[in-house]
A and B are shown apart, each in its own frame.
Chain A
């Protein structure tokens, strides 16, 4: 369980997060939505102390991160995976090396490393891409590598910062499918920040709505499932005109 207790974060004069309290239950997919500048990304980045809050406490599975420093904090971060809008892969490392580095940082036994990397790449369906460099991959593939990297150390939590915001609709659906699978088959708690209502509605169980650095409300919802479009122009037109009364120009 992730518990934020009255956390605040300022950037100079700007109050990005104002004394927010929030709890994320184990095993759920928790969405955070809000307009640009509402503080949702900052709130997510506070969860692994990528942003250090000026006030308040962050607790993950009974450990208070905000009381940790140096080595303890680094150790705690190894069980919190994170993925980003721009993937943030190391461009000069291969797909394999990008996943392996996360194991190396966690001192994962050398002899089992290869097996673990391949296991993670298989999970995201990229085992055949192990020797490619990020520049040779599509956006969706890069995000899959990032997910494999984040999963390598068997995290309890996966933080997703606008994970689909630079992807097209079909790739978005693909990535959401992978995330749902991470949640269902590995039991990883997921927190996902997005400004896209469709993304949040398709996979989240609970959603926190933020405005002006504060939590407006947290609601439970029934995820409506991931809708994958056929990747052909005909289905695009069908989608656009399916409500009937719209004709061709």
Chain B
């Protein structure tokens, strides 16, 4: 192993850990909140099963506004909220707040798009069989859209990694922050390159896993 990596081994592991925490919490938020929000966006859309202009417009606006912010500004804008939720606006835990919010907005849009690919007829068959809303969603919609949902999540996770790299501004740490502070600001170009290589490997692994899983579960 290159000497410089050995020298900074502890810091590198720590920053990888921080990235995992930030991205991990984002993924959980995306699934627990983004998936339902995206589903609601889909169901309330014009011409869909539970068309509801009011709910759709509100959710649509929230998602759009959140995604319009340059992410760095969103982080700053959310500082008071973060302080309220976590008790401090600094550190890895605090960094998960804006990351989770952008994660929800990001993934909910991709969920909505995947669900739009489900043939309308399948939904009608479900209704004709007397399925409840919950059953339509769980036994038909998600089953039919599952490969798109997985691909969407994969795309989202890679974006989350990218977003997490700037969380250094609020002391969130992570690989990106490490690369900037140790590599760029201390002129250790090789260290920066190694960090970039780690990121590339990470993204490749995630994309490969996502694509493989999505292909395996797609029987259409």
Q: Flag whether A195 is at the interface (Cβ < 8 A).
A: no
Given A77-B130, A105-B130: A92 and B124 interface contact (C-beta under 8 Å): no
Task: Choose, from B85-93, B138-146, B201-209, the stretch at the interface.
Answer: B138-146
Report B92-128 CB contacts with A as 1/0, cut-off 8 Å: 0000000000000000000000000001011011011
Q: Flag whether B53 is at the interface (Cβ < 8 A).
A: no
Instruction: Report the Cα distance A77→B218, complex, angstroms.
Output: 30
Q: Flag whether B131 is at the interface (Cβ < 8 A).
A: yes
Instruction: Report the Cα distance A158→B77, complex, angstroms.
Output: 58
A interface bracket (residues with beta carbon within 8 Å of B): 20 to 34
Given A135-B219, A135-B220: A90 and B122 interface contact (C-beta under 8 Å): yes
Residue of B nearest to A73 (CB): B130
A133 touches B128 (CB 8 A): no
| Chain A positions within 8 Å of B131 at CB level | 74, 105
Task: Choose, from A20-28, A80-88, A122-130, the stretch at the interface.
Answer: A80-88
B127 touches A75 (CB 8 A): no
Instruction: Report the Cα distance A88→B127, complex, angstroms.
Output: 12
Given A84-B124, A101-B139, A105-B139: A75 and B130 interface contact (C-beta under 8 Å): yes
Which residue of B132, B218, B220 contacts A74 across the interface (Cβ within 8 Å)? B132
Which residue of B128, B132, B217 contacts A92 across the interface (Cβ within 8 Å)? B217
Q: Flag whether B84 is at the interface (Cβ < 8 A).
A: no
Instruction: Report the Cα distance A99→B195, complex, angstroms.
Output: 52
Instruction: Report the Cα distance A154→B129, complex, angstroms.
Output: 12
Interface of B is mostly: helix
Q: Flag whether A106 is at the interface (Cβ < 8 A).
A: yes
Q: Flag whether A104 is at the interface (Cβ < 8 A).
A: yes
A92 touches B219 (CB 8 A): yes
Residue of B nearest to A77 (CB): B130
Residue of A nearest to B145 (CB): A92
| Chain B positions within 8 Å of A48 at CB level | 128
Given A88-B119, A88-B121, A91-B144: A102 and B219 interface contact (C-beta under 8 Å): no
Q: Flag whether B135 is at the interface (Cβ < 8 A).
A: yes
Report B48 CB to chain A, min CB distance, Å: 14
Instruction: Report the Cα distance A71→B135, complex, angstroms.
Output: 13
B143 touches A74 (CB 8 A): no
Report A230 CB to chain B, min CB distance, Å: 33
Instruction: Report the Cα distance A80→B128, complex, angstroms.
Output: 8
Residue of A nearest to B132 (CB): A74
Binding site for A on B (CB under 8 A): 119, 121-122, 124-125, 127-132, 135, 139-140, 143-144, 146-147, 217-220
Report 24 cross-chain contacts, Cβ distance below 8 Å, ordered by A residue.
A50-B127, A50-B128, A71-B132, A73-B130, A74-B131, A74-B132, A75-B130, A77-B130, A78-B130, A84-B124, A86-B119, A86-B121, A88-B122, A89-B125, A90-B122, A91-B122, A91-B219, A92-B143, A92-B218, A104-B139, A105-B130, A105-B135, A106-B130, A133-B219
Q: A86-B121, A105-B135 are in contact. List 17 more A-B contacts (CB 8 A).
A: A50-B124, A77-B128, A82-B128, A82-B129, A84-B121, A84-B124, A90-B122, A91-B219, A92-B144, A92-B219, A92-B220, A101-B129, A102-B129, A104-B139, A105-B131, A135-B219, A135-B220
Going nearest first, the 3 A-B pairs with the smallest beta carbon separation are: A77-B130, A88-B121, A88-B125
